Amino acid sequence: MVAYPVMMYFLIDPGLPLEALYLPTFLRSFGNAIFFCMLTIYLEELMPFQHFFMGLTMAGIIRNGPVSTMCSGLYSFGLRHQMADNMARGLPYDASNLLMISIRQLYGITCIIGIAVLLIFLLWDIQPVRSTLKKMPAWNFVGKMIKKNTLSKNSSFSRKEI
């Protein structure tokens, strides 16, 4: 996930071909896939099976709701601030070049933050959550458990009707 802003920082250029963006976009998507696989593993370890899918849904709602909105807002504010700062300096460039410089500055800040977080994760000695393997129930057991609960609820309804 850190490779994306680093590559974008060095790739941003007025004559950038579209094909140059394929690898950074692939790396970003690959990093997101690894991140959410790890999130799924940690949620499975921390929550009982009955609440696992609710926890996964809540993590998705939080990520796609307030977190993505805050990040978009921070980037738009940062771009506005950098653009105004670059225009106030009186740099001898037109608006499109000033926009490119502002985007490159934002990617530079993102690179520094991403590398710092990566170093913290690498250097901080965290006890792994998976100290023991929790047994995930087999799907046929889950089906039998749901069938048993459904039949017991249906039988209680039929007794009330009689």
Q: Residues in the chain, how many?
A: 162
* Phi and psi torsions of 113, nearest 5°: -65, -45
Percent of the chain topping pLDDT 90: 24
**Nearest C-alpha neighbor of 53 from the set 154, 130, 151, 142:** 142
All structural domains of the chain with their residue ranges: 3-161
pLDDT digits (tens, 9 = 90+) for 47-103: 887 888 888 888 888 888 898 899 899 999 999 999 999 888 887 888 888 888 899
CB 2 within 8 A of CB 115: yes
DSSP 43-104: HHHHS-HHHHHHHHHHHHHHIIIIIHHHHHHHHHHHHHHHHHHHHHTT-S--HHHHHHHHHH
Flag whether pLDDT at 13 surpasses 90. no
pLDDT band of 153, cuts 50, 70, 90: low
